[in-house]
Chains A and B, each alone.
Chain A
Amino acid sequence: MQKIMIIEDDAVIRDELSLLLENEGYQAVPVQDFTDVPGQAREKQPDLILLDLGLPNRDGSLICGEIRRQSSVPIIFVTSRDSAMDEYRALSLGGDDYITKPYNIPVLLARVRAVLRRSSGTLEPDVIEGCGMKVSLSKGTVTAGGKTEELTRNELKILSYLLANEGKIVPRADLIDALWDSQIYIDDNTLSVNMTRLRAKLDNLGLPGCIKTRRGMGYQL
């Protein structure tokens, strides 16, 4: 389990953030005592640090500098200050990313994932498998039973999101949400149209009815 250290002086945010990260499958290490933060970072060996730049009595960017001197752990700044100067100063001190409060939670989680992936050197898989099919993200194709169908960008995103949540019921709103994150700005009706086309293609591959509609709840693969 990847360990994320939270350096944040606001107790409510610290607790809620810990909860959020733990729900997402990370181990949260909230810092309670701000006297020797770099020392605690050395001791706990986190995989990622979320650092609030507005700590009481201490400038967060100094802490970043001290941590940087002894380790190359990725650091994401979380701050309510968003002037161009603040951003420049923070990144020049060796931060890996910069998020401003009030943050959009999905965006925060996406940045955390991205930084962790970069630092551990793993790539996102190109081929996702499940339900008897293989989806190639780079080629934009789905293969099953020896046959292959080409997918449009929208269909590819829909199918890969459903595959990533295989077995779970995916509400339409969550699906639209995920598509918007990939710069596909569709509404409810367009989703229905795309879904119909995707199902027709899966039918051709001999997988009829593999995407089930759960009335009033969403889709399930």
Chain B
Amino acid sequence: MTLQEFLADRMRGILFWASFMAAAALFLSATGTQTGVIVILMIVTALAASTMQAMDFLRRRTRLRELEAILNGLDKKYLFSECVPPARDLYEDKLLEMLRRSGRSMIGAVSDAQAAQREYQEYVESWVHEIKTPITAARLICRNAGGEIRKKLSHELGQMEAHVERALFYARAGSPEKDVVIRPFSLEELVSQSIQNHKELLMQGGVRIETEGLDSVVYTDKKWICFILGQLLQNSVRYRGESPVITMSARQAGKQVSLTVADNGIGIPAHELPRIFDRGFTGSNGRTRGGSTGMGLYLCRKLTEFLEIQIQADSEEGQGTDVTLVFPAMDAFA
């Protein structure tokens, strides 16, 4: 609160007081009081009134600054009403009481929502673990089934696993710090693990994989990065073209290492490219080919944010898509 703001706020009162004093001066002069006396009287009352206003200004400014410092110091601003010091006067007391009531209802709503979200997240995680048991059993049973059925069923099971995995990582993305363990890995290890995880899908898609320059070491979480690479591989297989080739290559640029997953698939139209990492965005390819959830790349972006990896996509329709992950420099973790 500046002095100017304060004066502007008080202007009505000050004008009212000034006109009252002017009227009193006229009255006194009309009833024969000496001019000198009136002037002295005016000066004294004006001084007294100004001092009172100045003191009021200083007092309020100090109070506001104090409250603002408390608010600024709070991590969760909605807890403000619980942290204010006792009221100084009746009016403030009434205001703060209302603020507290509103604050309590807000705190209640927030903690209910948080608890509900946590419970839901825990449920999703445990559900994911439960569902893995019947899927595993189905996998084992499927092994004994005959050729064509086995192939089709195991493809469907693969799809189920992919959906389940996305659900698990969606839940985990809510509290990543509980799961992430940053350690050094060679890109070779991460890439071959993610290829191994999707071997069936890639082989059924008739994909050839080429790898290049994967001897760099990156600091990251293996499970998470394999999930991200898995999403990229799944997309490359889903949107593949004739004689599909996926190239996974790494480059060292200064202290950073980048890994590119490039395919020669059907590509993404230029106007859709900026939105592919949005939640639920499926694009024209997703709509025509089906089976797209619009969650894969969205999750990739969320998880890369936490791992401090930059993710970017480049594509030309009919030529293919490149997705590049830029890993943070190693000394970021040193």
A interface list, Cβ under 8 A from B: 10, 12-13, 16-17, 19-20, 54, 80-85, 100-105, 107, 173, 176-177, 180-181, 183, 185-190
A190 surroundings in chain B (CB, below 8 A)? 208
What 7 additional pairs, Cβ within 8 angstroms, besides A16-B143, A80-B129, A105-B143? A12-B141, A16-B144, A54-B129, A82-B223, A83-B178, A85-B178, A185-B207
Q: Is the CB of B210 within 8 A of A185?
A: yes
Q: Is the CB of A187 within 8 A of B137?
A: no
B208 surroundings in chain A (CB, below 8 A)? 185-187, 189-190
| A/B interface sample: 5 pairs, CB < 8 A | A19-B140, A83-B179, A183-B192, A185-B208, A189-B208
In chain B, positions 125-184 with a C-beta closer than 8 Å to chain A are 128-130, 132-133, 135-137, 139-141, 143-144, 157, 161, 178-181
> In the complex where A80-B129, A84-B223, A180-B203 touch, is A102 in contact with B139 (Cβ < 8 A)?
yes
**Distance, CA A185 to CA B210, complexed state (A):** 7
Q: Is the CB of A10 within 8 A of B206?
A: no
Q: Is the CB of B141 within 8 A of A176?
A: no
> Which of A81, A85, A185, A189 makes the CB contact (< 8 A) with B129?
A81
B192 surroundings in chain A (CB, below 8 A)? 183
A173 vs chain B, min Cβ distance (A): 7
Identify which of A19, A20, A84 gathers the most chain B CB atoms within 10 Å of its CB. A84
> In the complex where A80-B129, A188-B206 touch, is A13 in contact with B179 (Cβ < 8 A)?
no
Q: Specify the chain B residue showing the minimal Cβ separation from A84.
A: B181
B263 vs chain A, min Cβ distance (A): 13
A109 vs chain B, min Cβ distance (A): 11
Q: Is the CB of A185 within 8 A of B211?
A: yes
**Distance, CA A84 to CA B177, complexed state (A):** 11
Q: What 3 pairs across the A-B complex have the smallest Cβ distances?
A: A185-B209, A16-B140, A80-B132
Q: Is the CB of A101 within 8 A of B133?
A: yes
A86 vs chain B, min Cβ distance (A): 10
A102 surroundings in chain B (CB, below 8 A)? 132, 135-136, 139, 157, 161
Q: Specify the chain A residue showing the minimal Cβ separation from B248.
A: A185
> Which of B128, B137, B143, B179 makes the CB contact (< 8 A) with A84?
B179
Q: Is the CB of A105 within 8 A of B203?
A: no
A83 surroundings in chain B (CB, below 8 A)? 178-179
B202 surroundings in chain A (CB, below 8 A)? 180, 185
**Distance, CA A186 to CA B206, complexed state (A):** 9
**Distance, CA A20 to CA B136, complexed state (A):** 13
